[in-house]
Structure 1
Amino acid sequence: MLKNPEKTKNEIVAWIRDYFEKNGPECSAVIGISGGKDSGVCAALLKEALGKDRIVAILMPNGEQKDIDDAKLLVKLLDLPHAILNIEGAFKGMADMLEGSDELKAITGLDQLSTDTRVNLPPRLRMATLYAVGQMLPHGGRVVNTCNRSEDYVGYSTKYGDAAGDFSPLANLLVEEVYQIGEVLHLPEKLVKKAPSDGLSGKTDEDKLGFTYATLDHYVLTGECEDAKTKTRIDHLHKINLHKLELMPSFPLDQVEHE
């Protein structure tokens, strides 16, 4: 865990300022607010680094979101410019298009969205929304990736959804370290320590993963895991999801002989 969370918080703030000096001195930071620890901590870091007037917070429920009040509480506490953009219409439109195609049914053998599609489509629509908002701003926007190291390690994110973004303040922090930064920022424990969930299945992230973030954090840091079955599962998830963290493979043209 972090030896000096205050020092690390200050270093992240300085890093964010440096990023914007190099990649958009007049740009705003565009962030999706879910009401959980990662978006909350990122939003508070951005406010300290840039000031509230250079942050655009977007709440994106898909129809009804049970914990939308937590997201509203966060933007109120931080006094952030924000908008609520419900993606339900976009989601239903995409679903109707996919499920209404006879050609696609013949290819997939399905007449409705698969479970994976239903789970991953909303995060991708949300990311598309954030980039659309960024391009509507007078001086442009840079989209925040709010993922943390623990979730990235086991691929608990959606490729081109919440795993996308222009810069990532928390990518090298474990879940417990995000908690530490949240405490330094004096965010309410209700938001920082809330059990993360996808808002769809009724289960927490830890329930779906099959192990706790504390177990995962310890394994990532030390390579130690007392339960062999859990270790095998973590290793498996890490291996099959590495493609989310690596650059897109490209054909090495320099190995081809040219005339």
Structure 2
Amino acid sequence: MLDHPESTKEALVQWIRDYFSQNGPSCSAVVGISGGKDSTIVAALCKEALGAERVVGVLMPNGIQSDIDDAKAVVAHLGIPHIIVNIGTAYEALTNAIIQGEGYKAVTGRSDISKDAGINTPPRLRMTTLYAVGQNLPNGARVANTCNGSEDYVGYSTKYGDTVLTCSNERGFIKQKNYQLFYRCASHKFLSLSFQVRQGIPASCFLQHGTSQELLLLFVFLLS
């Protein structure tokens, strides 16, 4: 149980301020926005710590994303600048280049992309996108990681994808405490959060490939 949501929030905000004062006093925080609670909390904390003008949200659908409006609602609610980069074309181009690569079929014994490659390639493209966006901002940027402690503990992440970070303010929180931080800060207005932000399960690349978090890991997150 998260007993002191306001003081926890204040400590996280101060950590972000201290980090940026030492590692980029004028640069922005770049946050990949999915529309779910993890990325929403990170963006809201960065906004409070740095100001809305220094937080850039990046929405990265892979082709058609059924819940993209949730991500758009987050950046609109927070009032932060945002960029929408559809990685679908890049994903298709890369996977086709691999499949059509000379010797691919002979070496791999297949003529398509494996399920694991299909799952993990989009997060790696998204992280590449975040760093590319950051390097194009006038004062530079630091990429804020949106993983939480539960995901890190059980390995529900993509190496060189969503595990990559310049700074992280959620990794010490298990999924349960992250939800508590979201709801309690929203209900007491400790952060610029709203209960209109998505309360369902994100349409992640894992779900797009027919695999839920629980089936993939045989692990159930505590959401209460």
TM-score of the two chains, using structure 2 as the length reference: 0.91
Structure 1 gaps, min length 5: 218-259
- Is the radius of gyration larger for structure 1 or structure 2? 1
Report which structure shows greater RCO (CA 8 Å, sep ≥6): 2
User: Conserved in 1, the CA contact under 8 Å of 2:119 and 2:209?
Assistant: no
1:10 match = 10
Whether the 8 Å CA contact 1:196–1:205 is kept in 2: the answer is no
Checking the alignment, whether the CA contact within 8 Å between 1:197 and 1:204 is kept in structure 2 is no
**Within the alignment, does 1:87 sit opposite 2:87 as a pair?**
yes
Distance 2:211 2:108 in 1: 28
Match 1:195 to one of 184, 195, 201:
201
- Counterpart of 1:214 (choices 199, 202, 222) is 222
What SS is found at the alignment partner of 1:144? strand
| Residue type of the alignment partner of 1:105 | K
Unaligned runs of 5+ in 2: 187-192
Percent identity, please.
50
Distance 1:204 1:196 in 2: 10
Q: Deviations over 1:151-178 (max 9, x none)?
A: 1111101111111110111000011111
Question: Which one-letter code corresponds to 1:159 in the other structure?
Answer: K
1:41 corresponds to which residue? 41
Matched residue, 2:105: 105
Matched residue pairs, number?
216
Q: Name the SS of the counterpart of 2:168 in structure 1.
A: coil
Tell me the secondary structure at the aligned position of residue 142 of structure 2.
strand
SS at match of 2:197: helix
1:127 aligned partner: 127
Instruction: Return the TM-score normalized by structure 1.
Output: 0.79
Residue of structure 2 in register with 1:157 after alignment: 157
Confirm or deny that 1:24 pairs with 2:32: no
Q: CA separation in 2, counterparts of 1:192 and 1:205?
A: 18
Code of the aligned partner of 2:147? C
Deviations, residues 52-91 of structure 1 (Å, cap 9, x unaligned): 0001110000000011010001001001100111001110
Confirm or deny that 1:205 pairs with 2:213: yes
Shift of 1:192: 5.7
Query: 1:35 touches 1:70 (CA, 8 Å); kept in 2?
Result: yes
Are 1:30 and 1:56, in contact at CA under 8 Å, matched by a contact in 2? yes
C-alpha separation between the residues in 2 aligned to 1:45 and 1:190? 18
Q: Secondary structure at the match of 1:143?
A: strand
| Cα separation, 1, equivalents of 2:221 and 2:49 | 28
Offset at 1:182? 1.1
Q: Distance in 2 between matches of 1:25 and 1:99?
A: 44
- How far apart in 2 are the matches of 1:202 and 1:65? 15
